[in-house]
Amino acid sequence: MNPQPRPLYWIGLSIFGLVIATYVLFPIFWLFLASFKTTGELASLPLTFWPVAPTIEAYTALFDTTSQSSQILNWPRLISNSFLVSVSSTLIVLVFGTLAGYAFSRIQFPGRDLILGGLLISRMFQGAALLLPTYRLMNNLGLQDSLLGLTLLYSAFGLPFATWIIASSLREIPFELEESAMMDGASRLQCMVKIVLPLATPALITAAMWHFVGAWSEFAFASILMESSDSKTVTIGLASFVELFTIEFNRVGAAASLVAMPIMLVFFFGQRYFTRGLLAGAVKG
Amino acid sequence: MGSVTLRNIRKSYGPVEVLHGIDLDVADGEFVVLVGPSGCGKSTLLRSLAGLETISAGDISIDDKVINGLEPKNRDIAMVFQNYALYPHMKVRENMAFSLKLNKVPKDEIESKVAKAAEILSLTAMLDRYPKQLSGGQRQRVAMGRAIVRDPKVFLFDEPLSNLDAKLRVQMRSEIKELHQRLGTTIVYVTHDQIEAMTMADKIVVMKDGHVEQIGAPLDLYDTPANLFVAGFIGSPSMNFMSCTAQGGKAVLSNGQVLGAAPAGLGEGQAFTAGVRPEHFVIGSGALDAPVTLVEPTGAEIQFTVDIAGDHVLITTRDRVTARLGDTLNLSVEPGKLHAFDPETGARLGGV
């Protein structure tokens, strides 16, 4: 390895990264800015970049329950639905993923590594291939158009990968720590709660973030399963919103910004763990 | 109080038996060292005692109470692990208090016990550090502190010094021994290092392939090894072995030279393996001529490797012998220091 810093290389790489980031983020940023403009400003020429007279009118309109549009799309409802489904399926995935991950990392049983590898294989299938069978299945179970059904579905989809991430990281925690705790008087459960889980926090946060973001932004399954307006989630709301209010870009921008907000917050606070947790799994897979 | 009794301990992994019926008595307050090459079953035995492994047969008792089926936490045993197994997310203080907290000991009592243990181990200044901020020796001491605060019946040590450098190892060795003298608690200690065993133990248990080869005080093992394995394992540099025949009370080498007086009790013409420790040769006063093939001065002594009847034999002397490569040393064996072993079974022959 060359111990000397190579400034040109890093400057070049940074410029390249900036260009890519601008290319990707510019439309999103523009939409974000648009959410603070009036419909008039958006329609007038020449186009403005920064809002001339910034207003949160578009946001208040989203939450105006008396307006005609909220009869069709009830944003507070959409948001609370999405939160309910994402948060509860994240909790389910964390609880069961931790228990399963602990078993995979600590208990010898026949076919253990095969099954653990199989968990990853399950991620190789395109979700779209499962749309129809899932729809039939949920219908037969009477779980279509139900938030409970969607929560269970997301949990089932998220569990394998979460288990894999958690198991990989638990494998790196020496078993001697638990043996030591057992000698110190801890039960198996106390070992897990007091020793293993605190040490596995980065992996747990990673798994939780990964799942929350996935559940929050899931569209395909929600769109075929959730029919009534009371049970829809933000991604469906956003899609139909674009269809209904194409002309009112400020409102579309406001809705999109709102929907993106939780994901940005999750990454803002958790990205430190996110890379660490994924890397921990990557080194020892 | 903490006497330990092991009766016919057997342990199998599937069809493979790794402990073949171990019997051992450890008196209260005794410092017992299990020693043997890696894979001899000493750690398995220790872990069985701790309750971290289940045994396939036999009885483990502490103070005459059988504890076979008990969980580790109910055995009143503390263990120090090879890699210390300190909880990385807890400060030294919390590491040491962990077991007391689990056992719901009152807070002020925990504090005083931790403070006392920290003082014994000179860890008082480290109490608010995390394990990763400590040196190897300090971590080792925290691991011991964690054991001490519990005031258990028995301490178990599983190769606790093998991760330390040579100098620190010697220092910790005496610290552990002093600790034992101070606390008087029964200790069962596992190591593969026979010097550790010799210097620390009241009683050494030499193990090999899941069997106990010999149990005894360090110097008894050194002076009267029960078999070839113990003779070769205990002592550094290790004992020299040569094939001999007993003729007229003498140990005669394969080339006809006389090594020394054969131990009593050997039959005339009986073939045996003679064992002589390097320091039990006398230079310059014998009938045995041996060419020098290697000279290694260590300072305190000089080590000569000589050729005796085709075997490389190591001799140490504290005298400043000036022999050089190619010279011939005139050797004899100190009276009574020639051990005889059965070449087939390895068992000790005759009396010394």
Residues sharing a CB contact under 8 Å with residue B342, sequence separation 6 or more, in sequence order:
B272, B273, B348, B349
% of chain B with per-residue pLDDT over 90: 70
Which of A174, A190, A198 is facing B102, going by the closest CB pair?
A190
pLDDT for A152 beyond 90: yes
Which region among A11-20, A229-238, B112-121, B174-183 has the lowest average model confidence (pLDDT)?
A: A229-238
State pLDDT tens for residues B250-267: 999 999 999 989 898 888
> What b-and-e string marks burial along B62-73, b requiring 16 or more CB atoms within 10 Å of the CB?
beeeebeeeebb
Give the CA distances from residue B1 to residues A7, A170, B27, B120, B214, in Å, rounded to whole numbers and listed in that order: 69, 38, 9, 21, 26
Q: What is the mean pLDDT of residues A200-205?
A: 88
More confident site: A97 or A123: A97
DSSP SS3 for B3: coil
Residue B188: the pLDDT is 95
pLDDT for B292 beyond 90: yes
Q: What is the mean pLDDT of residues B171-198?
A: 91
pLDDT band, residue A1 (cuts 50/70/90): very low
Alpha helices in chain B, H assignment, sequence order: 42-50, 92-102, 107-120, 136-148, 166-183, 194-200, 218-223, 228-233
Residue B352: the pLDDT is 47
What DSSP designation does A107 have? -
Residue B168: the pLDDT is 86
Q: What is the mean pLDDT of residues B271-280?
A: 94
Q: What is the mean pLDDT of residues B85-101?
A: 92
Instruction: Compute the Cα dihedral for B278, B283, B289, B290 and give only its sign.
Output: positive
> Would you list which residues of chain B are within 8 Å, Cβ to Cβ, of chain A?
50-52, 71-73, 77-79, 81-83, 85, 87-89, 98-99, 102-103, 146, 150
Query: Rounded distance, CA A235 to CA A119, Å?
Result: 27
How many CB atoms are closer than 10 A to CB A126? 8
What DSSP designation does B258 have? E
Q: Which residues pair with B317 in a beta bridge?
A: B302
CB contact under 8 A, B81 and A181: no
Residue B307: the pLDDT is 93
pLDDT for A28 beyond 90: no
State pLDDT tens for residues A57-91: 888 877 777 766 666 678 888 889 999 999 999 99
Q: What is the mean pLDDT of residues B39-61?
A: 92
Q: What is the mean pLDDT of residues A118-139?
A: 83
Residue A282: the pLDDT is 41
* A153, two tokens: 């579905």
CB contact under 8 A, A182 and B103: no
pLDDT band, residue A283 (cuts 50/70/90): very low
Domain B240-349 has CATH 3.30.465.10: no
CB contact under 8 A, A179 and B72: yes
pLDDT band, residue B14 (cuts 50/70/90): confident
> Would you list which residues of chain A are within 8 Å, Cβ to Cβ, of chain B?
174, 176-177, 179-187, 190, 194-195, 198-199
More confident site: A71 or B194: B194
Average pLDDT of chain B?
Answer: 91
pLDDT band, residue A275 (cuts 50/70/90): low
* A42, two tokens: 């958006």
Q: What is the mean pLDDT of residues B160-182?
A: 88
pLDDT band, residue A246 (cuts 50/70/90): low
% of chain A with per-residue pLDDT over 90: 22
Q: Domain spans of chain B?
A: 4-233, 240-349
Average pLDDT of chain A?
Answer: 84
CB contact under 8 A, A176 and B83: yes
Q: What is the mean pLDDT of residues A105-118?
A: 87
Query: Rounded distance, CA B20 to CA B15, Å?
Result: 13
Q: Choose the mutation target among B77, B87, B130, B148 for the interface with A, i.e. most A CBs under 10 Å.
A: B87
pLDDT for A149 beyond 80: yes
Q: What is the mean pLDDT of residues A145-161?
A: 91
pLDDT for A107 beyond 70: yes
The fold of the A69-283 domain, in CATH, is MetI-like fold (1.10.3720)
Residue A92: the pLDDT is 96
State pLDDT tens for residues B201-246: 999 999 999 999 999 999 999 999 999 999 999 998 999 999 999 9
pLDDT for A279 beyond 70: no
Residue B10: the pLDDT is 93
Beta strands per DSSP E along chain B: 4-13, 16-26, 31-35, 57-62, 65-66, 77-80, 154-158, 186-191, 203-208, 211-216, 240-247, 250-253, 258-261, 271-276, 281-297, 302-308, 311-317, 328-333, 339-341, 348-349
Residue A58: the pLDDT is 81
CB contact under 8 A, A184 and B146: yes
CATH architecture of structural domain B4-233: 3-Layer(aba) Sandwich (3.40)
State pLDDT tens for residues B123-157: 999 999 999 889 888 898 999 999 999 989 999 99
Q: What is the mean pLDDT of residues B322-335?
A: 90
Q: What is the mean pLDDT of residues B52-67?
A: 92
Q: Domain spans of chain A?
A: 7-60, 69-283
Which of A180, A185, A195 is facing B81, going by the closest CB pair?
A180
